[in-house]
């Protein structure tokens, strides 16, 4: 049964109905990211698609409040009109997951989708000023607000970001937005090994150049985007003179790594959306770890399994593609990662594999207890996306 309420009260009613029936409730926006997390069996589904209005947009305050079902496309168009943009550059998972429809703001926030600009401007959670949500008892609640600084009470809005709808149904989100830069340029160094590339990115990020994205594409991956060898990429923004000055400084500082040349294509959408791994049937992992350890992890994995990798966030975010098999190499990947620290999320695999393998990094006992405690206090009946994050 699919419910598509067009009011917040309708959302609350749908949750209350599910509570009365003790029926699990699947929460979705446009459904483009349903392949993330563990597969869900739910008799009831609620779609936020019809809650798609803009509550408030104040360009002079860099503040936007919109309902969860608003599409990112409509949001981008609105912001574009004022030459503004979202801070966290949310990835579009359609190509990677083979889904269709228009991704919604609520979906991006629920899965904490943050793109290359996360490095400089923060993640989805950092952009959130406040939100409205319906908890598992059907109460409509507010958290945070719409002002830039707010420490009034616990930071519940950020908790909701990345909770995959397991703690509440987000109905409205207040965001900090940002102006678009006058100039956006990308420079590249060709042919570096992974280790050298991450060192080059670290050197660039240690300079006050406001680098807004930093990625490394090893040889085979880079070819997917039309490069002829490994590409180490930096995005620089600002006013024209500012961008030119910053590039000049980077060229100088990175000379030891190789020639820094400006490229005239934009690789960042493809990197954001992991296009290099789209359209095949391999399992895809997303690993958050210390940047300088990342090439060591990848090298160690290459000795164990057949794996392709690339790096975003200066190396702090590793994307891996490997044969799906029975467990998507979860044991090898997590065991190797444990030696460095960080966490791995299985971003793409068949339902069977995502049901069998922990999609999110297994929690240590005290944190698992806290997670279960929060779940039971936000959703006592256990009806909101049950099992989406943990079995």
The three-state (H, E, C) secondary structure of 74-143, written as one string: HHHHHHHCCCEEECCCCCCCHHHHCCCCCCEHHHHHHCCCCCCCHHHHCCHHHHEEEEEEECCCCCEEEE
Q: Does 146 bind other proteins (CB under 8 A)?
A: yes
Min dist. Cβ of residue 264 to other proteins (A): 24
- Pick from 41, 60, 256, 303 the residue near other proteins by CB under 8 A: 60
User: Cα–Cα distance between 118 and 121 in angstroms, integer?
Assistant: 5
Q: 355 with 39: CB under 8 angstroms?
A: yes
Q: Does 331 bind other proteins (CB under 8 A)?
A: no
Q: Which residues contact 28 (CB under 8 A, 6 or more apart)?
A: 34, 45, 46, 47, 48, 107
Q: 319 with 277: CB under 8 angstroms?
A: yes
Q: 150 with 129: CB under 8 angstroms?
A: yes
- Pick from 142, 302, 326, 335 the residue near other proteins by CB under 8 A: 142
Q: Which of residues 234-293 bind other proteins (CB under 8 A)?
A: 238-239, 241-242, 245, 288-292
User: Cα–Cα distance between 40 and 38 in angstroms, integer?
Assistant: 6
- Pick from 17, 371, 382, 387 the residue near other proteins by CB under 8 A: 371
Site string for other proteins, 11-50 (x = CB under 8 A): ----------------------------------------
User: Cα–Cα distance between 334 and 304 in angstroms, integer?
Assistant: 12
199 vs 222 by CB, closer to other proteins: 199
Indicate the Cα dihedral angle 226, 94, 197, 299, nearest 10°: -110
145 vs 258 by CB, closer to other proteins: 145
- Pick from 122, 195, 258, 382 the residue near other proteins by CB under 8 A: 122
Q: Which of residues 70-109 bind other proteins (CB under 8 A)?
A: 82-84
How many CB atoms lie under 10 A from the CB of residue 368?
12
3-state SS assignment for residue 224: helix
Q: Which of residues 148-177 bind other proteins (CB under 8 A)?
A: 148-156, 158-159, 161-163, 167
- From 24-32, 103-111, 123-131, 301-309, give the range in contact with other proteins by CB under 8 A: 123-131
151 vs 391 by CB, closer to other proteins: 151
30 vs 169 by CB, closer to other proteins: 169
Q: Does 367 bind other proteins (CB under 8 A)?
A: yes
User: Cα–Cα distance between 208 and 294 in angstroms, integer?
Assistant: 23
- From 10-18, 92-100, 256-264, 341-349, give the range in contact with other proteins by CB under 8 A: 341-349
- Pick from 4, 99, 345, 350 the residue near other proteins by CB under 8 A: 345
Min dist. Cβ of residue 83 to other proteins (A): 7
30 vs 167 by CB, closer to other proteins: 167
220 vs 239 by CB, closer to other proteins: 239
User: Cα–Cα distance between 9 and 256 in angstroms, integer?
Assistant: 61
Min dist. Cβ of residue 45 to other proteins (A): 23
- Pick from 107, 165, 316, 386 the residue near other proteins by CB under 8 A: 316
Q: 297 with 285: CB under 8 angstroms?
A: no
Q: Which among 323, 234, 242 has a CA at the least distance from the CA of 280?
A: 323
Q: CB-hemisphere CA count at 13 Å for 232? A: 26
- From 12-20, 117-125, 213-221, 326-334, give the range in contact with other proteins by CB under 8 A: 117-125
Site residue total, other proteins (CB under 8 A): 80
Q: Does 125 bind other proteins (CB under 8 A)?
A: yes
Indicate the Cα dihedral angle 31, 105, 210, 314, nearest 10°: -20
Min dist. Cβ of residue 259 to other proteins (A): 23
Min dist. Cβ of residue 242 to other proteins (A): 5
What totals of helices (H) and strands (E) does the chain contain, helices first? 15, 17
């Amino acid at each position: 049964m699919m419910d598509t309420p067009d009011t917040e009260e309708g959302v609350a009613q749908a949750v209350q109905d599910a509570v009365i029936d003790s029926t699990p409730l699947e929460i979705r926006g446009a459904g483009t990211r349903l392949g993330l997390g563990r597969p869900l069996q739910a008799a009831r589904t609620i779609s936020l698609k019809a809650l798609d209005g803009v509550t408030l947009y104040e360009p002079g305050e860099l503040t936007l409040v919109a309902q969860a079902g608003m599409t990112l496309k409509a949001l981008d168009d609105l912001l574009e009109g004022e030459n503004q943009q979202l801070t966290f550059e949310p990835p579009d998972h359609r190509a990677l997951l083979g889904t269709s429809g228009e991704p919604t703001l609520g979906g991006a926030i629920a899965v904490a989708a943050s793109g290359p600009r996360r490095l400089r401007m923060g993640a989805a959670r950092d952009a959130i000023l406040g939100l409205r949500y319906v908890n598992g008892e059907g109460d409509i609640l507010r958290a945070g607000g719409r002002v830039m600084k707010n420490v009034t009470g616990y930071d519940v809005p950020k908790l909701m970001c990345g909770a995959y709808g397991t703690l509440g149904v987000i109905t409205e989100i207040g965001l900090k937005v940002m102006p678009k830069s006058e100039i956006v340029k990308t420079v590249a160094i060709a042919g570096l090994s992974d280790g050298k590339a991450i060192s080059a990115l670290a050197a660039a990020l240690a300079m006050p150049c406001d680098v807004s994205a930093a990625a490394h594409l090893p040889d085979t991956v880079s070819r997917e985007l039309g490069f002829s060898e490994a590409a180490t990429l930096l995005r620089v923004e600002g006013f024209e003179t500012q961008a030119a000055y910053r590039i000049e400084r980077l060229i100088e500082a990175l000379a030891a790594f190789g020639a820094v040349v400006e490229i005239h294509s934009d690789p960042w959408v493809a990197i954001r959306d992991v296009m290099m791994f789209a359209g095949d049937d391999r399992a895809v992992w997303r690993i958050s770890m210390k940047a300088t350890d990342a090439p060591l992890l990848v090298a160690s994995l290459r000795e164990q399994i057949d794996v392709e990798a690339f790096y975003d966030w200066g190396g702090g975010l590793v994307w891996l593609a490997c044969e799906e098999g029975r467990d998507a190499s979860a044991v090898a990947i997590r065991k190797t990662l444990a030696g460095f620290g960080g966490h791995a999320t299985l971003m793409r695999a068949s339902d069977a594999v995502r049901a069998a393998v922990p999609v999110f990094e297994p929690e240590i006992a005290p944190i698992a207890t806290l997670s279960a405690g929060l779940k039971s206090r936000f959703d006592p009946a256990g009806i909101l996306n049950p099992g989406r994050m943990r079995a």
